[in-house]
Amino acid sequence: MDNRLHGLRITNQRAVLYDYLTHQSLPKTPEEIFEELPTGSMDLSTVYRTLDTFFKVHVIQKSYIQNKVYYHLTTDEHKHYLVCIDCHEMSEIDVCPFHEFESKIQKDNDFLVTYHPVELYGYCKKCKSNHQESPSTP
Amino acid sequence: MDNRLHGLRITNQRAVLYDYLTHQSLPKTPEEIFEELPTGSMDLSTVYRTLDTFFKVHVIQKSYIQNKVYYHLTTDEHKHYLVCIDCHEMSEIDVCPFHEFESKIQKDNDFLVTYHPVELYGYCKKCKSNHQESPSTP
DNA sequence: TTTTACTTGCAAATGATTTGCAATAAGGAA
DNA sequence: TTCCTTATTGCAAATCATTTGCAAGTAAAA
């Protein structure tokens, strides 16, 4: 019988990691994931290897933000992110003005676009005020 | 007298690196830069330090593509890039549908956007055919 | 069950980037 | 011009994220 997940053997570590991922709404780094998993769930290298395995069978998506790798479950939603330069908090947006331009870009440049991650960097609500004006002296 | 470049001491290494950068049209990684500079111009760590220094005084811009850092001179042009997944060749495009959306995004999310790098990943002219169909047997 | 191939943990390797420190050089001051 | 102070550089070692080799452990097919 087909006792597999996307053609993969179901091991305890894979089940734990998969379950973890289904509960995240924002992309996570391998390091973050490792920290947030129950202590002793698996080795950090297993986190890396398993994420890579999931990625290869398209269970998860990979993105590069700042200089780190982020993963999140594959969904049919097309999301982009706001990333705060100060506190590094991320939030998602679903508008994507690039979609309608893609076909023109493809034609003009003879280039086959497969994906276009977009992050908007700046200051979030909390950090905006600290950045624009220094707080008044006490 | 002001014998300085953006407030920085003019050293031989800085002059060489600055000159190099003025001749590039595409973003480059520190490693690439180091390789393309005349042999013995400077140490790789100096390349890293100098790029960082230039970035801090806004002489150059920093971007993260895949998992690498890229730098290019600050200009008033707003560019985005097509990056080939196969050969990693980069080319630039100047359409940017995000501009007109920025103010709405800022308002809706209470977020101050400072920059939005965008790369479109896919297959370039050369690599497209190899990807879509395997070459016929000889 | 037993077998076999795939997975894991651990430790060591790798690649990119950063850092400490002593030697060197820029540029303002004398 | 020359000197002095301080920033900058080269070199080697450290660090950080990620990858890998290998022996031991474990799914799942027979």
pLDDT tens profile B70-92: 999 999 888 899 998 888 889 99
pLDDT of residue B138: 31
pLDDT: which is higher, B3 or A91: A91
Point out the nucleotide closest to B29 (alpha carbon to C1′).
C16
C-beta atoms surrounding B64 within 10 Å: 16
Q: Which domain holds residue A19?
A: 1-75
Residues A115 and A55 in one domain: no
Supply the DSSP symbol for A76: S
The span from the CA of A73 to the CA of A25, in Å, is: 9
Residues B70 and B6 in one domain: yes
Q: A91 is written with which tokens?
A: 């939030």
Q: Which residue of A has its CA nearest to B69?
A: A67
Mean pLDDT over B20-48 rounds to 96
Last residue of one domain, picked from the residues B75, B95, B119: B75
Least confident stretch, A110-114, B59-63, B132-136: B132-136
Q: B88 is written with which tokens?
A: 């990693």
- Span A63-116, pLDDT tens digits: 888 888 999 999 988 889 999 888 888 999 988 888 888 888 999 999 999 888
What residue type is assigned to position B80 of the chain? H
The CA distances from residue A10 to A6, A16, A17, A50, B80, in Å, are: 10, 10, 11, 11, 41
Whether chain B has a CB inside 8 Å of the CB on A107: the answer is no
Residues B80 and B119 in one domain: yes
The CA distances from residue B10 to B17, B73, B109, in Å, are: 11, 17, 43
Q: Taking all residues of chain A, what is their mean pLDDT, rounded to a whole number?
A: 88
Q: Is the CB of A52 under 7 A from strand D?
A: yes
Q: How many CA atoms lie within 13 A of B50 on its CB side?
A: 27
Residues B54 and B85 in one domain: no
pLDDT of residue B133: 46
CA B15 to chain CA centroid, Å, is 19
pLDDT of residue B1: 41
Q: Which residue of A has its CA nearest to B67?
A: A67
Q: Taking all residues of chain B, what is their mean pLDDT, rounded to a whole number?
A: 88
pLDDT of residue B22: 97
Residues A70 and A82 in one domain: no
B109 with A122: Cβ contact below 8 A = no
Residues B100 and B56 in one domain: no
What residue type is assigned to position B52 of the chain? D
Residues A60 and A106 in one domain: no
Residues A15 and A26 in one domain: yes
Q: Is the CB of A11 under 7 A from strand D?
A: yes
The span from the CA of A41 to the CA of B27, in Å, is: 41
Q: Considering only CB atoms, which chain B residues are within 8 Å of A105?
A: 82, 93, 95, 120
Residues B123 and B89 in one domain: yes
pTM above 0.75, yes or no: yes
CATH number at residue B90: 3.30.1490.190
Residues B32 and B65 in one domain: yes
Q: Is the CB of B42 under 7 A from strand D?
A: yes
Which run of H or of E encompasses A123?
A: strand A119-123
Residues A63 and A92 in one domain: no
* Interface A:B, Cβ pairs < 8 A: 117
Number of domains in chain A: 2
A69 with B67: Cβ contact below 8 A = yes
